[in-house]
Amino acid sequence: MERNTHRPARAGEWRLGWPVVVAAMIGIGTGPGLFQNLSSLFIAGPVGEFGWTRGDIATAAGLGLLGGLTVPFLGRLADRIGVKAIIILAMLLLGLVYAGMASLTGPLWQYQVLVFGLALTVPGTSAIVYGKLIAQRFEARRGIALGVATSGISISSLALAPVLGIVIAAYGWRAGFVALGLIVALLALPAVLYLLRHERTAPTRPDPDDPAAALPVEGMTGAETRRDTRYWRLGATAALINIASVGLVTSLVPLGTDRGLTPAAAALLVTAFAASQVVGRLVMGALVDRYRPQATAAAFATVSALAFVGLQLPAPGLPLMLTLVFLAGLMNGAEHDLLPYLATRLFGLRAFGELYGLLVMIGLFGTATGITAFGRLYDATGSYGAALAMAAIALALAAVLFLTLRERPLPHVQAHAQPA
């Protein structure tokens, strides 16, 4: 595979690039994925207050995630105007969404609209923006840099799950949403902007008359990539992984209580899932810098699929459930740095924002499917057995698809040489 001949020395990558990685940890760690990981903490409140069922909440969330349809267009906008403006707008909108959730009055359509708003914040709080910045700074250590950066969501989930549990128990679920909004708008956003103050955030696909348009850019255009079947297979892996893992994490607490755990013990399952995300991201990031990433990804997906099979045991007990949830979540953790890594490795940075945005949109369809399926299958059958079996099959298919992603040399073109 063709590589940039001007790549920096390995030691210099971390010396110059650590502020970007830390900014990404904070930005991704306080993005909508944090609510996704902790959403099961908020189920009991609306169910008790508004009479919603688990299926109602799952379906509303799935419909609201249709906001993911806008992600490729916002990713394309990031290619055009740079990433900093997208980051600011996304984090401010996220704070407003949490304020809206704290003010829910009962109709499900309100929740749907707000989850739609959550999906709109994905481009500015994900690897769509931060993956591009990291890929500009890192090459030899790109995998581990992405792993550390995307571990922010896992670290924040681990740290905030017990804190929000205490806040919700003491002051109610509305106070939990207020706390999330304040964290995003008053703490995370200023920290991210400070860390990126000296970072190059210019467009990678400027207007033709922009002087930057004459600079060479490694990678395929958007049109070329969309004609490549590898791109759609990569997108399918994202959807399949999200069907399984997001469906699980949004149902963890009720799954645990259904298996006889106390609410406090069931909340530990969320912690186990978050811990698996940290391990999955860091281990995957280290391995793909050394070994063939496609085979490594297939191995992770297989381990997680087997864990979903184990979760179908009728009464596994807390220690075994914690272990199985940890293993089931490994692929979800690994996927968040693996997807941008493979996107840059297979297709380059030429139209990264647009193309990775489309991958995220495909993944969000998987998210919506998983959330809805877990909730509705529970309502239909009275257990999570069918949903867990569906998840195991989805991860097995993802493992097969990873093995089909062969690498080819990347072209070097001028930014304005070909249309996107």
| % of the chain surpassing 70 pLDDT | 88
Helices (H), 289-316: 293-310
Quote the mean pLDDT of the chain: 82
Residue 217 and residue 416: Cα distance in Å, rounded?
A: 10
Q: What number is the average pLDDT over the span 161-173?
A: 88
Residues 274, 160 contacting (CB under 8 angstroms) = no
Which residues, in sequence order, are CB contacts of 318 under 8 Å at separation 6+?
A: 261, 265, 268
pLDDT interval class at 414 (50, 70, 90): very low
- pLDDT above 90 (res 393): yes
CA–chain centroid gap for 98, Å, is 18
Cβ neighbours, 10 Å, residue 103 = 12
Residue 154 and residue 161: Cα distance in Å, rounded?
A: 10
Residue 61 and residue 344: Cα distance in Å, rounded?
A: 30
- pLDDT above 90 (res 6): no
- pLDDT above 70 (res 186): yes
Residues 267, 166 contacting (CB under 8 angstroms) = no
Q: Give 284's strand partners.
A: none
- The answer to whether the pTM exceeds 0.75 is no
Residue of 322, 18, 311, 4 whose CA lies nearest to 148? 18
Cβ neighbours, 10 Å, residue 223 = 11
CA dist list (Å): 295 to 77, 143, 208, 279: 33, 15, 40, 18
CA dist list (Å): 118 to 50, 172, 333, 372: 21, 21, 20, 17
Give the N- to C-terminal CA distance of the chain in Å, as an integer: 22
pLDDT interval class at 224 (50, 70, 90): confident
Cβ neighbours, 10 Å, residue 409 = 8
Q: What is the pLDDT of residues 47-67, one digit of tens each?
A: 888 888 777 777 776 666 666
Residue of 258, 240, 244, 238 whose CA lies nearest to 54? 258
Q: What is the pLDDT of residue 418?
A: 41
